[in-house]
Chains A and B, each alone.
Chain A
Amino acid sequence: MDLYLGVDVGSVTTKFALITSDKKIYSSCYLKTSGDPIAALKTGLKYIQSHYPSGGVIRGVGTTGSARHLAGVVVGADMVKNEITAHAVAAITLLPEVRTVFEIGGQDSKLIIIRDQVVEDFAMNTICAAGTGSFLEHQAVRLGIPIEEFGKLALQAQQSVRIAGRCTVFAESDMIHKQQLGFGKPEIIRGLCEALVRNFINNLATGKTILDPIVFQGGVAANQGIVQAFHDFYQGKYKIIVPQEHGIMGAWGAALLVLAAKQEKTSFQGFEVINRSYENRSFTCDDCPNSCEIVVLKEENKVKALWGSRCGKWIPELVDEKFSEKEEKTLSFSKNS
């Protein structure tokens, strides 16, 4: 059986999707990145290894998400794609007539406009993270409610309280103010959900024509309060679909993209990656006033990849393989002529 693996390493969560050549998801997982993308990658690979069809062969790997380059090097990706394209491809495959995609993840949110199965326009939040998952999680902790219960509670509210959602800090202080006034938790949560939806629409949808059906994906789509707030915003006129796979759409998209590329050979490193040792360190290059922060990724004590230099001179082939921590500052370089 031919299989394709999609990996989406985001700022907050890491997602894996293993698909078959008929685009169906065979197995998938959704984990916390917890600030350590490499550990999350290993855990994910372990899960996929234990949920793997006998006789299956991985023919291609695609990575996406904010750590797509790191993940690409560690896992051995055939395709490294931005998350906007990955999410769009997944939504189009799921629902060919889709015309708008809302994607709200841990640290950013996206709006993708699709017409005739082609992305026409997109926007990513630039100003503020008030509409995203991290913010919601933070507020849930403040209110003492598990994030899983958060959305359900919002649905219980008879009415909502208007909360200023322009910015994270203001939303938080306004929420505390409403608590002090004596409003109940469900009303406040519903108000918060509505504020976040307003924030999303104001920040991303200005000047864009939103048409339904809308596919709402990303981790936050699990929050029924937010889904309801979107319905209320459009007064129930728009069809909003939350796919069952909403959390792993990016990973699925990455797998679909690599499947569509039909390449002959894969650079997949295999499940041995789980047992290899990785180390990432950074240092400041002092060769010019740009003071680039260079990230070094070592695999089994060998330099595998370097990121972050503006001039582009830091490439693994040019760095002495054995350079120790001390030597890092006084670079042992064989300059490329």
Chain B
Amino acid sequence: MVLEVLYPALGIEIVPPPPITKKTIEIGVKLAPQNACFPMKVTLGNFIEGIEKGADTIFMAGGVGPCRFGYYGQIQRIIIEDLGYDVNFVLIDSPRYGWKNFFSSLKTMVGGKWSISHIHRAVRLAWNVLRYVEELEKTSRLVRWKLKDPSQLDRLIEKSLKEIKNITSVVQLEEIRSNALHEISQLNTLEKNEPIKIGIVGEVYIAQEFRVNFNIEKLLGNMGILVDNSVSTAEYVLNFFPLTRSREKEEAWKLAKPFLKRFVGGEGIDTVGSTIRYAQQGFDGVIHLYPFTCMPEAVAKSIVVGVGREYNIPILHLAIDEHAGEAGMITRVEAFVDVLEMRRQQKVRKASCS
């Protein structure tokens, strides 16, 4: 999405992979090693669909540490080469592990023919788009639970996301942004009591990508629940660089300390810290989303169980992969919401008795 703005602004033609569908997942699952995690399979499916649409260069983030994500880029490169596709595969690692490599991949990324100021402008625009997309998601989380007709919100979001694909400047983006936010604020709402509040924690890809997590935010919002998501792609990018970590992230890491001191890869510490943060903020429950077989989240899961006990907050763990059934997930989410509602009623009863 963001790259769709960044590249045209740089004068490079980009081929956005088609949106993730059942077909994308089928391709990824067929080609990837069976025991690889779900995000690796889906992104591989994205690449293949992108190549079939004519892409000649592929960018993939790399990484180090206990999460297997770090070597998935390499595996994907080999799989794509083995299939006989002639593409340039560029792996971008965090500059923390060598600025030289980082800049040389960046150079490939921009085609090596643009001035610093040009690149700066394009990157700034793309960054603002990412921030806007996340702001839009955040706004919809805040209003969806009380809307009379949530499908109106879906249409507004769809419209706005379509509009930003053609912009070339931050000024244009700002105009679209203020329009959309205004329109959302004008939607008809219902008079409702204090909603049930659920926080989402977990692995960045599964917790963010609504096309693979069965759009859990929308599902909950349409059930009248106020949702917050502790995971953000912008945060993820910031964390890629030294010294740009946000305050929330620092706070979550500090909160996690008594339970987990060491970096366990991926978002393990964030999952633990954010669960505590939600408990302290008076959320009714937490949903933990992660890819099946994800190491960092498996570590986090067993710790989060203890956190839930200590802070007396219910937690629903949902492992998602290509075998996850939508019906089973919905049944669990509905039952979880019932649990939270019953707890709330019990609290009210106890309070009125004393």
A residues sitting closer than 8 Å to B (CB atoms) are 66, 81-85, 116-122, 124, 126, 207, 288-291, 312
Q: Which residue of B lies closest to A119 (CB)?
A: B339
> Does B188 make an interface contact (CB < 8 A)?
no
- Most chain A beta carbons < 10 A, residue from B24, B330, B331: B331
Contacts of A119 in B (CB 8 A): 335, 338-339, 342
Given contacts A288-B21, A291-B22, A291-B23, contact A118 B327 (CB under 8 A): no
B331 in contact with A122 (CB, 8 Å): no
Which of A122, A288, A289 contacts B335 (CB under 8 A)? A122
| CA–CA, A207 and B308, complex, Å | 12
In the docked arrangement, what's the CA distance between A83 and B302, Å? Answer: 27
Judging by beta carbons under 8 Å apart, are A66 and B23 in contact?
A: no
- When each residue 331-343 of chain B gets 1 if its CB lies under 8 Å from chain A and 0 otherwise, what string results? 1101100110011
Task: Report the contact-size class of chain B (Cβ under 8 Å from the partner).
Answer: 20 to 34
Which chain A residues border B343 with CB–CB below 8 Å?
A: 118
A-B residue pairs in contact (CB < 8 Å), sample of 28: A66-B331, A81-B334, A82-B330, A82-B331, A82-B335, A82-B338, A83-B331, A84-B332, A84-B338, A85-B334, A85-B335, A118-B339, A118-B346, A119-B335, A119-B339, A121-B314, A121-B339, A122-B335, A122-B339, A126-B319, A126-B328, A207-B305, A289-B24, A290-B21, A290-B22, A290-B23, A291-B22, A312-B151
**A207 to nearest B CB, angstroms?**
5
Question: Counting CB contacts under 8 A, is B18 at the interface?
Answer: yes
- List the A side residues contacting B151 at CB < 8 Å: 312
- Shortest CB–CB separation between residue A149 and chain B, in angstroms? 33
Chain A residues positioned under 8 Å from B334 (CB to CB): 81-82, 85
Of residues B23, B319, B332, B342, which shows the largest number of chain A Cβ atoms within 10 Å of its Cβ? B342
Contact with A along B67-104 (1 / 0, CB 8 A): 00000000000000000000000000000000000000
Say whether, besides A289-B23, A290-B21, A120 and B339 are in contact (CB < 8 Å): yes
Instruction: Write out the residue numbers on chain B whose beta carbons fall within 8 Å of the beta carbon of A82.
Output: 330-331, 334-335, 338
Q: Please pick, from B23, B319, B331, the residue contacting A124 in the complex, using a CB distance under 8 A.
A: B331
Q: Which residues of B contact A66 (CB under 8 A)?
A: 327, 331
Query: Nearest CB to that of A122 among chain B residues?
Result: B335
Within 293-349 of B, Cβ neighbours of A (below 8 Å) are at 302, 305, 314, 319, 327-328, 330-332, 334-335, 338-339, 342-343, 346
* Residue among B18, B302, B334 with most chain A CB within 10 A: B334
Query: Chain A contacts of B22 at CB under 8 A?
Result: 289-291
Q: Is the CB of A116 within 8 A of B346?
A: yes
Q: B335 near A84 (CB under 8 angstroms)?
A: yes
Give the chain A neighbours of B319 by CB distance below 8 A.
Answer: 126
Nearest Cβ on chain A to B206's Cβ, whole angstroms: 16
In whole angstroms, how far apart are the Cα atoms of A81 and B223 in the complex?
A: 13
Report B218-242 residues with CB < 8 Å from chain A CB. none
Whether the pair A124, B332 counts as a contact (CB closer than 8 A) is: yes
Q: Complex formed: what's the CA distance from A82 to B331 in Å?
A: 6
C-alpha gap A81/B338 in the complex (Å):
9
Nearest-neighbour CB distance to chain A for B213, whole angstroms, equals 13
Please, which residue of chain B has its CB at the minimum distance from the CB of A116? B346
